[in-house]
Structure 1
Amino acid sequence: MDNMSLINIINFPVLGDGRGTLVALEANRQIPFEIKRVYYIYGTAQGVARGFHAHKALKQVAICLKGSCRFVMDDGKDKQEVILAKPDKGLLIDAMQWHEMYDFSNDCVLMVLADQVYDESDYIREYSKFIEAVNNHVHSSAK
């Protein structure tokens, strides 16, 4: 996987006129999957980092509706950073991508759309286990 493939930004169509701006999101159109869960993070204290996990199968799109935050995306070989700061851009977080979020602005509202309902067994919460899973996948797919 090349480094550029770690960051997959989706540009959403922006509609609007003198009254304001609108972004519409539809499953299997702007969002590349059926949406089964929506959650959002806000009121994150200064200096707090979040994430620090990967998912075995879950796919998500993160959208910073207000303010900004920084993501570090990691495929087990390469890492890349991106700042989300516009409500018309979404970050696709694919399965088996370790992700960490930092530098939340005071007014940050981060919404996440997911293709599955919450399932704790889908999480990989230890980085060493993530690296082990990535290496096992690479070796099994090479056979």
Structure 2
Amino acid sequence: MSETTVFDCTLIEMDRHHSDDRGNITVVENGKTVPFNVRRAYYLYDVPGGGSRGSHAHKELQQLIVAASGSFDVTLDDGNVKRTFTLNRPYQGLLVVPGIWRDLNNFSAGAVCLVLASEKYDEQDYIRDYNEFLKWKIKV
């Protein structure tokens, strides 16, 4: 998966169902909305305004990252090119493929980052050092 680039990552628009003045609902379904089966979901919240998270890559795991509330930026890096996406709509998710370094930053106050992942937590799948990531991208 080291051949992946930031251009393999994309924004996915999820269906919005309007229910008059009571608000909206967005449905996420395995293999339909998300191009993988979700095996783990988690969310980040109470990140200090302007704070950052992430700073790692995955060897095999795919993610759909959603700003469930508020906004934040996701900077993706494939070792050659960087792309930054601002997430601020709860009906859009950023698909992040394996082999991409990610940094999440510029969290607004009260932001909630929902992450849907293709695999359960596996520490062996993480690359947490950027220089190791670059070596891995070249080697594999």
Q: Give 1 or 2 for the bigger CA radius of gyration.
A: 1
- Deviation sequence 1:104-142 (CA, Å, 0-9, x none): 0011000000010000110000001111111112xxxxx
**Cα gap change, 1:12/1:42 in structure 2, threshold over 3 Å: closer, same or farther?**
same
Distance in 1 between residues matched to 2:98 and 2:43, nearest whole Å: 19
**Cα gap change, 1:94/1:111 in structure 2, threshold over 3 Å: closer, same or farther?**
same
Normalising to structure 2: TM-score of the pair? 0.92
The Cα RMSD (Å) is 1.6
| Matches for 1:1-143 after TM superposition, within 5 Å | 5=7, 7-18=9-20, 19-137=22-140
Normalising to structure 1: TM-score of the pair? 0.91
Verify the 8 A CA contact 1:62 1:92 in the aligned structure 2.
yes
SS at match of 1:71: strand
Task: Find runs of 4+ consecutive structure 1 residues off by over 2 angstroms.
Answer: 1-4
Number of equivalenced pairs: 137
Q: Which residue of 2 aligns with 1:140?
A: none
What is the identity, as a one-letter code, of the residue corresponding to 2:59? K
SS at match of 2:104: strand
5+ residue gaps in structure 2?
none
Verify the 8 A CA contact 1:6 1:73 in the aligned structure 2.
no
Measured after TM superposition, the shift of residue 13 of structure 1 is 1.0
Distance in 2 between residues matched to 1:52 and 1:76, nearest whole Å: 13
Verify the 8 A CA contact 2:78 2:100 in the aligned structure 1.
yes
**Cα gap change, 1:2/1:29 in structure 2, threshold over 3 Å: closer, same or farther?**
closer
Identity across aligned pairs (percent)? 34
SS at match of 2:42: strand
What is the identity, as a one-letter code, of the residue corresponding to 1:77? N
Distance in 1 between residues matched to 2:9 and 2:34, nearest whole Å: 15
Distance in 2 between residues matched to 1:4 and 1:34, nearest whole Å: 21
